[in-house]
Each structure stands twice: as C-alpha cells, then as structure tokens.
Amino acid sequence: MIWYPYAQMKTLDAPIKISHAKGVHLYTEDGQDLIDSVSSWWSVIHGYNHPEINAAISGQLEKFAHIMLGGMTHEPVQKLSDKLAQWLPGDLDYCFFSDSGSVAVEVALKMALQFNTNRGSDRDMILSLEHAYHGDTFKAMEVGDDEDYHFAFGVNSEKKRGVVHIPIEIPALEKAFEEYGERLTCFIVEPLLQGAGGMRMYDVCFLERARQLCDQYDVLLIFDEVATCFGRTGNRFVADLVLPDILVLGKALTGGYIGHAVTVANRRVYKDIHSSRVKLFVSSSVTFSRSSNNGV
Ligand SMILES: Cc1ncc(COP(=O)(O)O)c(C=O)c1O
C-alpha cells in the first residue's frame, strides 16, 4: 500500500491517476488532459518526457546508471561539476553531490560547522528565518520553522537550542547580529522566496545587508536555492545578485528526472577544510556519510 506524503491518509481524496505526460500536460487514465502548474513541486522545469533529456539518460544507461564517488570518479560527474562552476557566480566552484535537497542542506550545515571547528572556534549558533523550510531530515527541520512539519516530531523551539529564527526585517537582522554575531557559525536562507513556508517573497536588500553583516562578523552565508535555482525567480540563481559562501541546489538540477542535489562551496570554505590534518579528518566524515549516494 502506498502511504502518501503531506496528507492524512484517513481523509485523503483519491489521488489522480496519471498514465503519461508530455511538456506541461499530465494525461489521466480516464482521459483528462491536465496542466501541471507546479511542475511536480518546481522540479520538472523543462517539461515531462523531454526528448533531449530522455536521450541523454538512455545513452548514459548503456554505460552505467550510478557509480559512487568513494574512491572513484567518471566523466559525467566531472562534466557536471565543471559546468556548474562555470555557470555559478564568484568562486562557488567546489561541488559536493548528494541525493536530495534535504541532505544537501545537511551537507551545507556540516561544512559550516566543520569550518568553524577547524578554526578552533566555539561558535555554537545558527541563524535562520521565520517560516523557513529547508527539508525534512532532522537538522533541516531544526533550521526550518514550519509547525506543519514539526509538531509531530517534537522539534519545538525548546529543542532547537542554538537555532535562532528572525523575521525578514532588516532591524531584526541587525539586532540578531548585534546579540549573537560572535556566536554564529552560519546564516541559512531561502533567498528571495520562501516556498513551502507560504510562497513569501522578499526584497534583495535584506540579502545585501545579510552579506555585509556576515562579512563583518565572519559568519558563513548559506543560500538554499533548492526551490529558486535555474531561473525560478527570474534570475538564473539568486546567488547572481548576492554571493553566498555555500549554495544548495536541487530539484530542477535534474529537471525532476531523478532525486539529486549539490552543495557548492566557495574557495575559502573548501581551502579551509582542505588544509589541515584535523580538517581532512572531519571532512572525510562528511564524505563517507554521503558516499553511497554520489551518483551521476
Ligand atoms: C527550499 C527547500 N529546501 C530544501 C528542500 C528539500 O528538498 P528535497 O525534497 O529534495 O529533500 C525543499 C523542498 O521543497 C525546498 O523547497
């Protein structure tokens, strides 16, 4: 039996049964032609059943579907990371692949915590936004702020010690940095648009001020662009407007064909984690935790 997500099974309406799809169209078993205006939760950005993507995937399947990056590498992953580095702004060049947006958020947070540990700092707090949604794994839920997702898991504000949620207002931002700036490891945001938290849009000047304050207090800025990447806000990436230190991409990354995501670090984060014995040791624990999912 299928247990459907984001629904109470007791009151669930019978789901619409899809037989095939093309472009924006979903065709039902009983002959209806529907337009999917949410692109399967903003992932199918090129449309369903796209001939070029179909051909690329079929071609790759003739060679292999998945090979871990633990101790191995291959041309498709090299091409993808080169292309991302070329497309992304600034020195966001270091690509860490994983299997979903939630896990890629976890990787970003681990990078920030590890960066902090490596420099011998005892900073222990994360700044986040009210109404934030960053996925459904436990740390992603902690930095998120959505009761719909959290109440059943006991992830309430008391248990979220070390995570501060602020409204999207510049005075609140400035106050949070004044109060906690020296204790923050990172500030994580869905830039310009909070999706699952209610399609809340906000102004880029909030992000510009956040960048200034992160520089002033030496705090890493993380953009979770799982929902906004590849043109969803009218910019290719919001990172083209304001440069984060760590960027998370997912969903549209594969046009919705497979679950896959990437956490991209800038040179400073990468070099820091790269350049000492402690850093390498802690870094490899990040790598091992993802090794089984590092596919094409
Ligand atoms: C901003 C944001 N971050 C993270 C996620 C989690 O991604 P996934 O569902 O691939 O785990 C989502 C999912 O909608 C999202 O919108």
Give the helix/strand (H/E) hosting 263: strand 261-266
Give the helix/strand (H/E) hosting 217: helix 204-217
Write down the catalytic residue from 48, 94, 133, 270: 133
Q: Is 30 assigned a catalytic role?
A: no
**Predicted local distance difference test score (pLDDT) of residue 157:** 60
Q: Tell me, which fold does domain 72-290 have in CATH? A: Aspartate Aminotransferase; domain 2 (3.40.640)
**Predicted local distance difference test score (pLDDT) of residue 6:** 79
Strands 25-28 and 33-35 come out as antiparallel
Write down the catalytic residue from 136, 224, 245, 272: 224
**Predicted local distance difference test score (pLDDT) of residue 160:** 73
Q: Is 251 assigned a catalytic role?
A: yes
Q: Is 79 assigned a catalytic role?
A: no
Strands 246-249 and 92-98 come out as unpaired
**Predicted local distance difference test score (pLDDT) of residue 11:** 94
CB-based contact 197:150 (threshold 8 Å): no
Q: State the Cα–Cα distance between residues 27 and 29, nearest whole angstrom.
A: 7
- In sequence order, the 6+-apart residues with CB closer than 8 A to the CB of 27 are 18, 19, 20, 21, 33, 34
Cα dihedral 246, 85, 270, 208, rounded to 10, equals -30
Q: State the Cα–Cα distance between residues 176 and 173, nearest whole angstrom.
A: 5
Regions of the chain with pLDDT less than 70: 148-159, 276-296
**Predicted local distance difference test score (pLDDT) of residue 119:** 87
CB-based contact 282:114 (threshold 8 Å): yes
**Predicted local distance difference test score (pLDDT) of residue 147:** 75
* Ligand 1 midpoint to CA 205 (Å): 24
* Ligand 1 midpoint to CA 103 (Å): 9
Q: Is 63 assigned a catalytic role?
A: no
Residues written for the chain = 296
**Helix (H/G/I), strand (E/B), else coil: 140:** helix
**Predicted local distance difference test score (pLDDT) of residue 285:** 39
Rounded to the nearest 10 degrees, the angle between the axes of helix 101-118 and helix 267-274 is: 60
Residue with tokens 């740390």: 139
* Ligand 1 midpoint to CA 227 (Å): 7
Q: Return the amino acid letter for 34.
A: L
Based on DSSP, count helices (H) and strands (E) in the chain, helices before strands: 10, 12
Q: What is the value of pTM for the model shown?
A: 0.92
**Predicted local distance difference test score (pLDDT) of residue 146:** 78
Pocket test residue of 40, 45, 97, 102 for ligand 1, highest count of atoms within 8 A of CB: 102
Domain regions of the chain by residue span = 9-58, 72-290
Pocket test residue of 107, 248, 251 for ligand 1, highest count of atoms within 8 A of CB: 251
Q: In this predicted model, what pLDDT tens digit does every residue of 64-121 receive, in sequence order?
A: 999 999 999 999 999 999 999 999 999 999 999 999 999 999 999 999 999 999 889 9
